[in-house]
Structure 1
Amino acid sequence: MNAPLPRTFDPTAVGPLQNCRVLDLSRLVSGGHCGMVLADLGADVVKVERPDGGDELRGGRIAGVAAFWTVYNRNKRSISLNLKSEEGRQLLLSLVRDADALLENFRPGTLERLGLGPDVLLEANPRLVITRISGWGQTGPYSQMPGFGTLAEAVSGFMYRNGFADRPPAPPPTALADMVAGLYAATATVAAVLHAREGGAGQTVDVSLFEPLASIMGPDALLDQLGHLPTRGEGTRASSVKGVFQTADDKWLALSAGAERIVKSLFAAIGESEALDDPRFSEYQSRLDHRSEINAIIGRWVEARTSAEVMGTLRAQGVTIAPVLSMGEAREDPHFIAREVYVDVPGREGEPETVAMHNVVPRMSGTPSGLRRPAPLLGEHNAAVLAELGFSEEDLHELVKRGVIGEAPAEVGHA
């Protein structure tokens, strides 16, 4: 059985954002993903967590492992800082002076109530980028409502179209809204940092959970205006011939003929070229309107053959088709292994000996970055980060006594 080879963490790996410092006050998935993208690209992302438990993802354990925390917070450092104390706020402002960006995903107004609103932060560092992720955005009638990804998926149009026509709207199988918002937030953060480094001023970046997801719905607003929005279960209209088909050996194959020449090659390969003379199937629009009938023709041909036979025949004719893989199957697929899509890295105390996770994407030839360190223990880097501000070990003990920072963790095995 093929399996990903174990990989060790490489603290010397260099990414394109190597000299970028991000203070990450966020929690949960949206902020975690944004910070992970920046950290994977080489930024020094310092998690600023409350001493009494830290990021809520730390507590979400499955089979004893905080899986979401472990993946979304790799390549980051952690300090435990009480921002409700005046000393804690002043320490944060000291860190802000040398930072490129600050990330937060509190409900709008929380940062201001802590005495750390954008006016205060930009006074400390006029070139700072303040990226703010929230459920509904910083403005508008819903801005003060609590919001999680499921709600964003519901209102964005995604959930309305996801699933099957004879069943209720279905949420995605992943934290989709959070991850898309995190990715948009990371992209905007890099753009704003570049602007500041070119002499521009710092600024706030306002990212809601629902708007990025609405944007990836593509032309749906226009299709709705035209009266041709696909129904639930119909899928995208970017390809006139597409579907998922079951083979004779109970495998599932996904097919998408996104170009006219592929449509013709497909129907020639299955011996149904004449079908394209039927007015229902002869043009792009008509095929969209009769997708179920056209898929029935393809399905009858597929179900009489094994997965290997179908893929062999259709790929030989240039038809775009691939197997539907489970995660276990993907991790053992030779192409995935060759590309090191998933890697097994050393686990920490309480985790398996090795921990599987996706590798850094995308791939850069000159500054490829990499997995530099595991997700940090709470306050693991208190000493290292505060030493940069001139604090001694004795100073740290005093800060712990006064409740400004948390106790250093017992296990500290990574830089």
Structure 2
Amino acid sequence: MASDGDDPMTSPMDEGALQGLRVIELGQLIAGPFCGQLMGDMGAEVIKVEPPEIGDPMRNWGRGEDKLWWEVVSRNKLCVTANLRISEGQQIARELASKADILIENFKPGTMEKWGLSPEALHAINPRLIIVRVSGYGQTGPYSARAGFGGIGEAMGGWRYIVGDPDRAPSRMGISIGDTLAATYGCMGALAALQARDRTGRGQVVDSALYEAVLQVMESVVPEYDRSGYIRERSGSVLPGIAPSNVYRCKDGEFLIGANQDAVFTRLCAAMGRPELAKDERYHDHVSRGRNQVELDQLIENWTATLTVAEVEALMIEHSVPAGKMYRAPEMLEDPHFAARDAIVEVETERWGPLKMQNAFPKFSDTPSKVRRPAPSSIGQDNAEVYGRLLNYDAGKLAELAAQGAI
């Protein structure tokens, strides 16, 4: 827990599973800040350190005219400024680290060392500190010094090659999945390191590489090649040999049906009014359906094309077949299940007023996560509060640091 008697952001005991932990977030853009968002949502006091005046580029990222990503990724955080490129700013970072449980950074490997903020230097100040380092290729190895963004990690980890239609170039997912996976593994590693710290009393480094985070979710791609030389290829909306599991055209839209398990396929056949298909030798088991995947998908779409999405959905629910509509933001905001589980929450933001966004996740029965505060609107708006409370900086000290360009 945060040391030296410095109380973290005051909140009731039920304000999150990580209540009482203090996190210093030095990273910027996506991976580091998303790791901090996860911890903040679970109740940790997250202090985000931004460069003076310019702030984190995430303040100006997002689609459309209004740049709103910042409001999600920086919620539940306090924002201070420190110029880590000069000695005075580096000293501020060291002092913050001395009073923290976890420090997150996602700079190019070697940058923290150049600034005098290496793990060795920080552990000399605070042996219990857990340092999460997110980078493109990891802190070691021949590629470690290379610049790496999420898309590059997705390509190296094997994701990009298998996404898209087979007759086109590899596609992207549409979100920064490489960054968020690496951030999620970084968060998970930090929580495991906390458990280890309870036993040993020592902090450690959590090294989360973008490409390795992607590699972790690549299922059996590597052993398939190692054992049989099989290379998984792009297959569009289907997985070869897994049938039926596809998006099917209806009268008024598209609908996803996943009925590749034998018993489920039998129920789908009943819903279609074609129970005999479940016993047809072309479709009666998993292997046969995979072998005849194209014709089976066409047979199913010939049926769905005669019905509306709502009609197909009702039949799938009635026959207990996993299926669902293609959701966009409008459908999410209108759906009663999202509402019942509070999957989307309205946050009163300082800049935009009430703003709907995804709620904190996962759900806890005793220590619920939540959006406790909106993202700070101005750069360095919490300087006086945080530096005064944690580092005992008075107004004169803050003015001196500002004059030096340190904050």
How high is the TM-score relative to the length of structure 2? 0.91
Post-superposition Cα deviations, 1:296-348, rounded to whole Å, max 9, x if no partner, equal 11111111112222122222111111111221111111111222211221232
- Residue 185 of structure 2 corresponds to 184
Which SS does the other structure have where 1:364 is aligned?
A: coil
In structure 1, the residue corresponding to 2:391 is in which secondary structure? coil
Structure 1 Cα separation of the partners of residues 387 and 23 of structure 2: 15
Per the TM alignment, residue 401 of structure 1 is displaced from its structure 2 partner at its CA by 1.5
1:232-251 aligned at under 5 Å gives the runs: 232-233=234-235, 235-236=238-239, 239-248=242-251, 250-251=252-253
Alpha-carbon deviation of 1:169? 1.1
3-state SS of 1:79 partner: strand
Partner of 2:255: helix, strand, or coil? strand
| Range with bigger deviation, 191-200 or 375-384 | 191-200
The match for 1:36 is: 37
Q: Is the 8 A contact 1:83 1:114 kept in 2?
A: yes
CA-atom RMSD in angstroms: 2.0
Distance 1:243 1:27 in 2: 38
Counterpart Cα distance in 1 of 2:280 and 2:241: 21
**8 Å Cα contact 2:17-2:369 kept in structure 1:** yes
Name the counterpart of 1:337.
339
> What is residue 380 of structure 1 aligned with on the other side?
381
Residue 203 (structure 1) shift: 1.0
Structure 1 residue 60 displacement after superposition:
2.6
After superposition, residues 20-35 of structure 1 pair within 5 angstroms as: 20-35=21-36
Map of 1:357 onto structure 2: 357
Give the conservation status (yes or no) of the 8 Å contact 1:46–1:78: yes
Look up the equivalent residue of 2:180 and give its one-letter code: M
Deviations 1:343-399 (A, max 9, x none): 2212323x3x32221001111121113111111231111111111221112221122
Match of 2:265 among 263, 266, 284: 263
User: 1:409 — aligned with what?
Assistant: none
Query: Which residue pairs with 1:231 in the alignment?
Result: 233
In the alignment, does 2:120 pair up with 1:119?
Answer: yes
Question: 1:30, 1:138 → 2: CA distance?
Answer: 15
Counterpart of 1:17 in structure 2 is 18
Q: 1:252 aligns with which of 240, 251, 254?
A: 254
Instruction: Give the direction of change, closer, same or farther, for the CA distance of 1:229–1:63 in structure 2 (3 Å limit).
Output: closer
Quote the residue 2:5 is aligned against: none
Partner of 2:7: none
The 8 Å contact of residues 261 and 286 in structure 2, kept in 1 or not, is answered as no
Structure with the larger RCO, 1 or 2 (CA within 8 Å, 6+ apart): 1
Aligned pairs, number: 393
Structure 1: distance between partners of 2:291 and 2:143: 38
> Is the contact made by 1:11 and 1:373 (CA closer than 8 Å) also made in structure 2?
no
Letter in 2 for 1:197: D
Ranges in structure 2 where 5+ consecutive residues have no aligned partner: 1-9
Secondary structure of the 1:206 match is: strand
- Of residues 280, 283, 287, the one that matches 2:282 is 280
Q: Cα distance 1:242–1:83, how it changes in 2: closer, same or farther (>3 A)? A: same
Look up the match of 1:289: 291
SS at 1:74 equivalent: coil
Which secondary structure does the structure 1 equivalent of 2:313 belong to?
Answer: helix
Comparing 18-27 and 339-348, the one that deviates more: 339-348
> After the TM superposition, which residues 317-336 of structure 1 pair with which residues of structure 2 at under 5 Å, given as runs?
317-336=319-338
CA distance in 1, matches of 2:336, 2:264: 26
TM-score scaled to structure 1, two decimals?
Answer: 0.89
SS at match of 1:28: coil
Q: How far does the alpha carbon of each residue in 1:65-122 deviate from its partner, in whole angstroms, 9 at most, with x for none?
A: 3322111111011110122222222222122122111100010100000111111011
Structure-1 separation of matches of 2:406 and 2:64? 33
Structure-1 separation of matches of 2:47 and 2:182:
20
- Structure 1 pair 358/177, CA: closer, same or farther in 2 (3 Å)? same
Letter in 1 for 2:16: G
